[in-house]
Amino acid sequence: MINIPKGTKDVLPQESYKWHYIEETVRTVAKDFSVNEIRTPTFEHTELFLRGVGDTTDIVNKEMYTFEDKGGRSITLKPEGTAGVARAFIENSLYGAAQPTKMYYITPVFRYEKPQAGRLREHHQFGIEYYGAESASADVEVILLAKTIFDRLGVGKLKLNINSIGCPECRKKYNTALREYLGTKLDVMCETCRERFDKNPLRILDCKEEKCKAVTDGAPSVIDYLCDDCSAHHEHVCAQLTACGVDFVINPRIVRGLDYYTRTVFEFVSENIGAQGTVCGGGRYNGLVEQVGGKPCPAVGFGMGIERLIMVLESLELNVGKPYTPDVYIAPLCDKAREITPSIALKLRAAGIVTDYDIMDRGFKPQLKYANKINAKYLVIIGDDEIACGKATVKDMESGQQRSADIGALADHIQQLQSK
């Protein structure tokens, strides 16, 4: 027996409706915000992520699914959605079109992580990418899009954390201050943080280890090191969110895992799904397009974990959609009925009636049992008697009431019943 690879999950037919529900909701919200979808390949040249995500990140250092293809090229399965979009933006000269370029994606994401609740090796993200807009309004619009999705799904309770990590100039000053503060405390921090100290000290603020958290509690706050422009940008973001009535907290610990962020960073966090509570993370990444070979172009966006979102909805017992159930189940009871059943089903389906019928050549009782099990609304019975008089028996499965209806006019009959 060959098992599923560690950290991956099947979405079974009895639960795929949850995915449809989420996907439909996010697509509708994207449409309402006038954003179109972009689809990029599941794999890219490894170089793209080395340059785009950054070689001091956990993703590039430890988590990528990289392999050599038969042509000897180094290929990597998408460890996040943004770098591929940036490549497509440059390669297809989308910067030549009227700006901004607003895009969304729904994609599988592959990371070699330690599997645990809310942490998989293949997960899925809905993401937003706004290119070409430098203003605080773009940051706010992106945050509002995420917030609208949560509101539509009924999850009002997520906490929105916001921070600004400034531009490379502010970061240089801040990193010096941070190193000064952390320098004497290295021996009580975890090994990863000791490595981060030289390469990317900002990431130490993101460490989940209690001992490191205790150390960073008293660390200087990046907001205090912002240059005038970055500080004004941050204030505009906060003011606009406040004007929209969006609750948020400024959290100096939010730094995001990827190297490409500048200025605004944010996370929506749930308290209901355990330690991996971040459902959506994003921010501004003005340096990314240039970093992967394009002309400088400001950008802002987010990634939302669909598996974690489903976990949140389920933990709060919120609506997660419902599976398809047939309006009609046709039970043919003789050979002649079996002969005509498929064409009857096609007519009903053409009229928009969800129709199923027996393909197991079973007798009446097991068919009835099955129709009950799949929650069919109406059972249409066709046996010798029905064929002889050209009328089928239509049974309302809930009330048990039975009627007789012309086989040739079944669609009309069912539609009339449904409109009652």
Q: Could you list the residues that contact ligand ATP (CB under 6 A)? A: 80, 111, 113, 118-120, 123, 125, 257, 276, 278-281, 303, 305, 307-308
State in angstroms the smallest separation of the CB of 307 from ligand ATP: 5
State in angstroms the smallest separation of the CB of 69 from ligand ATP: 24
Residue closer to ligand ATP, measured from CB, 54 or 303 = 303
State which residue has the least CB distance to ligand ATP.
305
State in angstroms the smallest separation of the CB of 80 from ligand ATP: 5
State in angstroms the smallest separation of the CB of 284 from ligand ATP: 14
State in angstroms the smallest separation of the CB of 400 from ligand ATP: 46
Residue closer to ligand ATP, measured from CB, 110 or 378 = 110
> Tokens representing 91?
């390669």
State in angstroms the smallest separation of the CB of 53 from ligand ATP: 9
Residue closer to ligand ATP, measured from CB, 99 or 192 = 192
Residue closer to ligand ATP, measured from CB, 206 or 356 = 206
Residue closer to ligand ATP, measured from CB, 302 or 329 = 302
State in angstroms the smallest separation of the CB of 79 from ligand ATP: 8
Residue closer to ligand ATP, measured from CB, 206 or 358 = 206
State in angstroms the smallest separation of the CB of 162 from ligand ATP: 15
Residue closer to ligand ATP, measured from CB, 167 or 309 = 309
The answer to whether the CB of 294 falls within 8 A of the CB of 86 is yes
Residue closer to ligand ATP, measured from CB, 80 or 358 = 80
